[in-house]
């Protein structure tokens, strides 16, 4: 099954006006392979500017959204507001949201369902902590996180699953291609057994966790790794190398 390679760039809480201008120009000058989809996620306050100045073939994502359309929810952003700005994507369930802001599996599932119902596509993150991996609980954890989403949605057309082992995010530690592939296979099998064969075959499962210009090709060689959600490296010139991981095909 051919799935279009997906590169997401999560800026997190980084950047200023000058950086936004220079980095958008840099991405605009980067050639995007025909077999690759690229989506970048700047901080909320720069979303409108990025979308207006970024070439249309590159998607723009928010880093979070809420479960309601509007209301007295100080500091939150709704998918409806994202759509109003022409923002196509949102990242939900990132481990930093789960850990720092105590978002539960169920809350993440609710946010995914609301975003999709609004017409905003979702990069849904799952991943285990180091102690969970060492206790052989990786599959139990990621299946639990995926179940909370699957219980609330029926159409997976606009969902990309990002497997991000918490122990590899921003640490410089990277899951080996074999380790990542094993979890990606497990996630795809879970979809096959709990949702449908069609969803398992067509849903892109991407890897995140200290991806850079040096390790991206080895990781991409695995058959079930359909791309990357890139953190720190997406703010650097090497992001163009990651974007062109599959340019040789």
Residues serving a catalytic function are: 164
Convert 146-194 into a string of H (helix), E (strand) and C (coil): HHHHHCCCCCCCCEEEEECCHHHCCCCCCCCHHHHHHHHHHHHHHHHHH
192-201 long-range contacts, CB within 8 A, separation 24+: 194/147, 194/150, 195/150, 195/156, 199/156, 201/1
Q: Which residues contact 167 (CB under 8 A, 6 or more apart)?
A: 128, 129, 130, 133, 173, 209
Q: Are 35 and 4 in contact (CB under 8 A)?
A: yes
Q: Are 1 and 201 in contact (CB under 8 A)?
A: yes
Which stretch of DSSP H or E encloses residue 140?
helix 138-150
Q: Are 85 and 70 in contact (CB under 8 A)?
A: no
Burial of 239 (0-12, 13-18, 19+ CB in 10 A): buried
Quote the CA–CA distance of 27 and 145 in Å, as a whole number.
33
């Amino acid at each position: 099954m051919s799935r279009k390679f997906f590169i997401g760039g999560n800026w997190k809480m980084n950047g200023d006006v000058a950086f936004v201008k220079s980095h958008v120009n840099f991405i605009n000058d980067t050639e995007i392979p025909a077999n690759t989809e690229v989506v970048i996620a700047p901080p909320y306050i720069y979303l409108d500017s990025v979308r207006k100045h970024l070439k249309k073939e590159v998607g723009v994502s928010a880093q979070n959204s809420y479960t309601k359309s509007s209301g007295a929810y100080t500091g939150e952003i709704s998918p409806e507001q994202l759509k109003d700005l022409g923002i196509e994507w949102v990242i939900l369930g990132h481990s930093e949201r789960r850990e720092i802001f105590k978002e539960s599996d169920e809350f993440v599932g609710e946010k995914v369902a609301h975003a999709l119902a609004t017409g905003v596509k979702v990069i849904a993150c799952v991943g285990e902590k180091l102690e969970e991996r060492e206790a052989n609980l990786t599959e139990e954890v990621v299946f639990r996180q995926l179940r909370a989403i699957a219980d609330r949605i029926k159409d997976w057309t606009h969902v990309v699953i990002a497997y991000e082992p918490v122990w590899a995010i921003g640490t410089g530690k990277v899951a080996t291609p074999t380790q990542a592939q094993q979890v990606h296979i497990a996630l795809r099998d879970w979809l096959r057994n709990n949702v449908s064969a069609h969803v398992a075959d067509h849903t892109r499962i991407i890897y995140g966790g200290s991806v850079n210009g040096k390790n991206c090709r080895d990781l991409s060689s695995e058959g079930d790794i359909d791309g990357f959600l890139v953190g720190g490296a997406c703010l650097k010139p090497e992001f163009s190398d990651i974007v062109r991981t599959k340019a040789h095909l």
